[in-house]
Amino acid sequence: MQKGKRYRIQGLNMVVMANHDGYARLGLAVSRKYGNAVQRNRLKRCLRSAFRQHDMRTLGMDILIIPSPKLKTADVDEQNMASCFDVLLQRVAR
């Protein structure tokens, strides 16, 4: 996804690129630098759940999310991740 548009939202680096499938796909790249396995899996669960419930699933785009190691684990919950997708949708629509 080197040709995608990059966004940084609340400690998440998001790379967005159009696809021709007619629906959105989510990719997650969470390194060990983020935290232990419990923290990494919790972040991935919250991101997947927020993505499933968001309206952007009908758009034809690929989204790769790379969390910054500085993202605090206290900030990770479904509501906060859903607001990240809201901000991303607003920025992409511009």
- pLDDT, one tens digit per residue, over 51-60 is 988 887 778 8
Beta bridge partners of 61: 18
Q: What is the pLDDT of residues 27-71, one digit of tens each?
A: 999 999 888 999 999 999 999 999 988 887 778 899 999 998 888
Lookup: tokens for 35: 């935290």
Question: pLDDT tier at 2 (50, 70, 90 boundaries)?
Answer: low
Query: Who contacts 2 (Cβ-Cβ below 8 Å, separation ≥6)?
Result: none
Q: Indicate the domain borders of the chain.
A: 5-93
* CATH 3.30.230.10 corresponds to the domain 5-93: yes
Considering the entire predicted model, what is its pTM? Answer: 0.86
